[in-house]
Amino acid sequence: MACVLQIGAGGVGGVVAHKMAMNREVFSRIILASRTLDKCKVIADSIKQKGLGEIEIDCVDADSVESMVALIEKYKPKLVVNVALPYQDLSIMEACLRTKTHYLDTANYEHPDSAHFEYKEQWAYDTRYKQAGIFGLLGSGFDPGVTNVFCAYAQKHYFDEIHSIDILDCNAGDHGYAFATNFNPEINLREVSSKARFWVKDENLAQNTDLKKDTIYRKFEREEKHFSLEANTQDLKNEDYFGGQWQDIAPLDLMKEWEYPEVGVKNSYLLYHEELESLVRNIKGLKRIRFFMTFGESYLTHMKCLENVGLLRVDEIEHNGQKIVPIQVLKTLLPDPASLAPRTKGQTHIGCYIKGIKDGKDRTIYIYNICDHEACYKEVNAQGVSYTTGVPAMIGAKLICEGKWGIGAAKIPNNADNSDMPKGGEFQGIDSHNGGGVWNMEQNDPDPFMAELNKQGLPYVVCEIDSNGERKILEDGRK
C-alpha cells in the first residue's frame, strides 16, 4: 500500500522496522537507512528470521540535507519516519520539505551544543509544509506521543474542562548493571540533569504542596564546582508562556511517592519534558501541567557522582590536544541501550493523571499502559523503553498511510493565540490547505490511535479515581 523510508537503526529503530513488517497490508515497501549500514543489516536479518519478509537497507548522513534529499528522491516514499537523533530533526524536515514528502518523528528538536529542547524551530516549518501540501507529525513516541493522545482522548470523552495533568513515567525494569541508561545515554542524561520546570496558571497550584524535597540526589551536593554548568542551562527563572508561567526547579529537587497501579509505589521526580510545551496550547481549561519520572537510589547516586566530576558537561573541553565533549565520552563508556534488551526484566508503566470537570462535577481520570520488558524482547528483540517509543511511531505512520491522520483528515483546531509563535508558525494548529502543515499528536483525532494501541501491543487502561482514592476501571484494552 505504501513505501516508507525509516531513518535510524538504534533500539527504537529496530522496533519500528519490526512492527512495520508485521503490518505489511499498509507498509508494502520498507527502507531502513542509517549512517551505519551494519546496524541496518542486523535489523533486516532479524525481521527475515522472524518470518516477516524482507526490508531494504541503505546508508545516509542524516546531518546532511543534501544526503537526505538524494535518499528520498532515490526511493520516493510516501512518508519519512525519523527515529534518528533529535539533533537531526531539522535537516530531515528540510529534506522532506524540498521533496514534498510527509514527515514523522518521535522527539522534538534538541540543540546539540546545549541541553535545551523545544518545538518552536519545528513549528516554524508549518506554513511551508502547508504550502507544499505535506503533513508533519511531531512527537509520535510514548512521551511525547501516547501521553499527548491520552490527554486528547480524556478531553474528548471524559471531561468538559481539564484543569491539571501529571504525566507519570515509571520504568520498574532491572538490567542487572550498576549503571546504564535505557535509551541514548547522551539524550537521557542531558534531559535528566537539566533543570526541571512545570507550567502553571493558578497561583494556588504553583506551590506544589503535594511534593517534597529530594534527599538522595542532594546527598553529595556541594555549592561550589570546579567547572561551570552554563551549557546545561541550569539558570532558574520564571517565564511567561501562553497565559501562564513556566516555573523552573533545580534538577531532581522535588519528588513524590506515586502509586503506580499494578507496579507499586515509586519515587518520582519532577522533570521538564517536551510534550508540556504543546499540551499547554491544546488542552482547554488547563491550570497546571507537570511531568514525573521514577529513579532508584543507585541511579541517582551514580548520576550525581558523574555530574560532580564533570562527565555530564555538554560543552567542549580540551584533552591531550583534542576537543572532546565529556557526556559523549560517557556515552561511549556506557552499555549500548540495545544491548540491555536480553537482560532486562520487569515492567514499564506510563500514564496521565488528569483532573477536571465533567457535568459540573470534579473528576479524576488516570489513563495508563503497562509493558513487560521480556515480552518485548521475545517479540522484537528490544526492551520495553524502546518498544514503547517504537510502536507509537509505527502507529502514527500507519494512520498517515491509511489517511486517518494527515492530508484530508480532520484535525482538532486549538484556536490558540499564536502571537508568540516563530515566523512560519503563526497558523500552527489551524486546519487549512487540506490538512497540511506541522501538527502535534493531540491535534489529531485520538480515537483511531487509541484503537491501534490495543491492537499493536500497547493496550491502555482508563480508570476513574474517587475522592477516597478508590479506582474504578472504565476501559481495559487488555480484555
Per DSSP, the residues of 151-176 read HHHHHHHT-SEEEEEEEEEEE--B-S
Answer for the pair 452, 395: CB distance below 8 angstroms, yes or no. yes
pLDDT value for 231: 45
Do 146-380 and 2-141+383-459 fall under one CATH topology? no
Joined grid coordinates for residue 408: 484530508
pLDDT value for 190: 82
Return d(Cα 351, Cα 154) in angstroms, integer.
12
Q: Cα-atom radius of gyration of the chain, to the nearest Å?
A: 21
Q: What share of the chain is helix, strand, coil (3-state, %, to 5)?
A: 35, 30, 35
- The CATH architecture of the domain made up of 2-141+383-459 is 3-Layer(aba) Sandwich (3.40)
pLDDT value for 137: 98
pLDDT value for 220: 82
Kindly list the averaged pLDDT for each block of 10 residues, start to end, along the chain of length 479: 96 96 98 97 98 98 98 98 95 98 94 76 97 97 98 98 98 93 84 91 94 90 73 75 95 95 95 96 96 94 91 90 94 90 96 98 98 97 96 98 96 88 94 88 98 98 96 96
Instruction: Answer left, alpha or beta for residue 348, where phi above 0 means left and psi between -120 and 50 means alpha.
Output: beta
Answer for the pair 286, 279: CB distance below 8 angstroms, yes or no. yes
Burial 136-173 (b: 16+ CB within 10 A, else e): bbbbbbbbbbbbbbbbbbbbeebbeebbbbbbbbbbbb
Structural domain boundaries in the chain? 2-141+383-459, 146-380
Query: Regarding the domain delimited by 146-380, which CATH topology (the fold level of the hierarchy) does it fall under?
Result: Dihydrodipicolinate Reductase; domain 2 (3.30.360)
Answer for the pair 472, 464: CB distance below 8 angstroms, yes or no. yes
pLDDT value for 114: 64
Residue 230, judged by CB atoms within 10 A of its CB (0-12, 13-18, 19+), counts as: exposed
Those residues with Cβ within 8 angstroms of residue 458's Cβ, 6 or more apart along the chain or in another chain: 142, 146, 369, 371, 387, 388, 391, 392
Answer for the pair 118, 322: CB distance below 8 angstroms, yes or no. no
